[in-house]
Amino acid sequence: TTRTLILGIETSCDETAAAVIARDGAGRGDILSNVVLSQLREHAPYGGVVPEIAARAHVTHLDRLVAQAMRESGLDYKDLDAVAATAGPGLLGGVIVGLTMAKAIAFAHGRPLMAVNHLEGHALTARLLHPVEFPYLLLLISGGHTQFQMVEGVGKYHRLGTTIDDALGEAFDKVAKLLGLGYPGGPQVEALARRGDASRFAFPRPLKGRKDCNFSFSGLKTAVRETVQDLMTLSDQDVADVCASFEAAVAETMADRLKMAVHLFRAAHPQVRAPALIVAGGVAANQKLKAVFEAAAAQHGLQLIVPPAKLCTDNAAMIAWAGAERLALGLTDPLDFAARARWPL
Ligand code: KG4
Ligand code: ZN
């Protein structure tokens, strides 16, 4: 059995990240280093990620982060078997920074380049920590993505549903902004919702009952905006009640969409008795939603896996891991691989 060592780089959004992982011949993963620098403070004044600021910050910090990840791993560049970087989808300026760095290291040390789809990183992360068998159901809920994937193997993904407008994390962030809360809004909405009355406002449950497993959050956001406008001045209790009512609408919607996704998954793979349900992305940190996933897993006979937040939110270990999984299949990429702003799995 051969052990492969991979350096990974992630720069597709507002996290500059580098990591070194190992994969043994049996497919088990090991994180040797995993450093992430969040640009939250740079973007916070704008209430969202500013692409130009992100790209410049990646340029400023990436050299140092890669050096740190290598140092913490105790390895030398010549020990690496490949260099992986996110090649998309994401903010193009940032993706180019990380991908170019990976190309330079790969070229200088004569190692293969792994141009990784960021979503594939999220899709495969659970296997870095657990011996999860294919096929499994993945729910990815972050600031940029909201989708169900049926993961049938490395490179074999089947999207069951996606958002037709906003991503779920984006909806949390927009609601927070409407309420005058800071960015990112998800954690603050969750904290305030705990002291709120979830039954005070009857917000819509978007797409509930529809026979697919797509998502839509812009109508919900609009309903929140109209409520906020009607209230005119917001007391602390009003804010808490809006947060709680919004979170309740999201939770009920997720339970319904999940039911449909499980139905589609079961129809495609009737022989799989207890498939894994993997929930990844920043929104997976939400406890109210976690309770929904736990209940759904129990009800539908799924094995729920929520990887630790550090591997669920954007990081480079997941990119290195996806690179390792692909390298194990003999898949490498040419050094002229171009960055892609859009790249569905
Ligand atoms: O995966 P992530 O760190 O970054 C990407 O978007 O790729 O996800 C960030 C998103 C933000 O929209 C943030 O508001 C949301 O995840 N989020 C939450 C919570 N923690 C983070 N949303 C709801 N509840 C939370 N506890
Ligand atoms: Zn991501």
Q: How far is the CA of 283 from the centre of ligand 1 (A)?
A: 4
pLDDT of residue 320: 98
Top pLDDT among 260 and 1 is at: 260
Strand 82-88 relative to strand 4-10, pairing:
parallel
Q: For the chain, which residues make up each domain, given as ranges? A: 4-125+311-328, 136-306
pLDDT of residue 132: 95
Question: Residues lining ligand 1, judged by CB closer than 6 Å?
Answer: 13, 142-144, 169-170, 172-173, 184-187, 190, 281-283, 285-286, 313-314
Whether residue 251 has pLDDT greater than 90: yes
Yes or no: is domain 4-125+311-328 CATH 3.30.420.40?
Answer: yes
Please state the atom number of ligand 1 nearest to the C-alpha of residue 13.
7
Residue 133 DSSP label:
P
Q: What does pLDDT average to over the chain?
A: 95
Top pLDDT among 9 and 144 is at: 9
Whether residue 1 has pLDDT greater than 70: no
pLDDT of residue 338: 98
pLDDT of residue 101: 98
Task: List the Cα angle 20/22/28 in 5-degree steps.
Answer: 140
Is 136-306 in the same CATH topology as 4-125+311-328?
A: yes
Q: How far is the CA of 313 from the centre of ligand 2 (A)?
A: 6
pLDDT level of residue 16 (50, 70, 90 thresholds): very high
| pLDDT, tens digit (0-9, with 9 covering 90-100), for 171-224 | 999 999 999 998 889 999 999 999 999 999 999 999 999 999 999 999 999 999
Strand 276-280 relative to strand 303-305, pairing:
parallel
Whether residue 48 has pLDDT greater than 90: no
| pLDDT, tens digit (0-9, with 9 covering 90-100), for 101-159 | 999 999 999 999 999 999 999 999 999 999 999 999 999 999 989 999 999 999 999 99
Q: From the CA of 141, which ligand is nearest?
A: 1
Q: How far is the CA of 314 from the centre of ligand 2 (A)?
A: 5
Check: CB of residue 315 under 8 Å from CB of residue 36: yes
Please state the atom number of ligand 1 nearest to the C-alpha of residue 280.
1
Q: Among the CATH numbers 3.40.50.970, 3.40.50.1370, 1.10.357.10, 3.30.420.40, which is that of 136-306?
A: 3.30.420.40
Q: How far is the CA of 146 from the centre of ligand 1 (A)?
A: 11
Residue of 134, 133, 217 whose CA lies nearest to 168: 217
Nearest C-alpha to atom 19 of ligand 1 is from which residue?
A: 186
Nearest C-alpha to atom 10 of ligand 1 is from which residue?
A: 143
Q: How far is the CA of 109 from the centre of ligand 1 (A)?
A: 36
Q: Which residues does 271 contact at the CB level (< 8 Å), separation at least 6? A: none
Q: Which residues are documented as binding site for substrate? A: 140-144, 173, 186, 190, 286
Check: CB of residue 128 under 8 Å from CB of residue 311: yes
Q: Is the ipTM above a cut-off of 0.85? A: yes
CA 35 to CA 62: how far, in whole Å? 11
Nearest C-alpha to atom 6 of ligand 1 is from which residue?
A: 143
The stretch 244-249 carries a mean pLDDT of: 98
CA 99 to CA 83: how far, in whole Å? 10
pLDDT of residue 44: 81
Q: How far is the CA of 82 from the centre of ligand 1 (A)?
A: 30
Tokens coding 289: 């939603």
Ligand 1 pocket, mutate which of 172, 189, 254 (most atoms under 8 A from CB): 172
Check: CB of residue 29 under 8 Å from CB of residue 129: yes
pLDDT of residue 43: 85
Using only C-alpha atoms, what is the Rg of the chain?
A: 20
The stretch 271-299 carries a mean pLDDT of: 95
Listed residues: CB within 5 A of ion ligand 2: 142, 314
- Give rounded-to-5 percent helix, strand, coil for the chain: 45, 20, 35
Q: Which residues are documented as binding site for Fe cation? A: 118, 122, 314
Q: From the CA of 123, which ligand is nearest?
A: 2
Nearest C-alpha to atom 14 of ligand 1 is from which residue?
A: 186
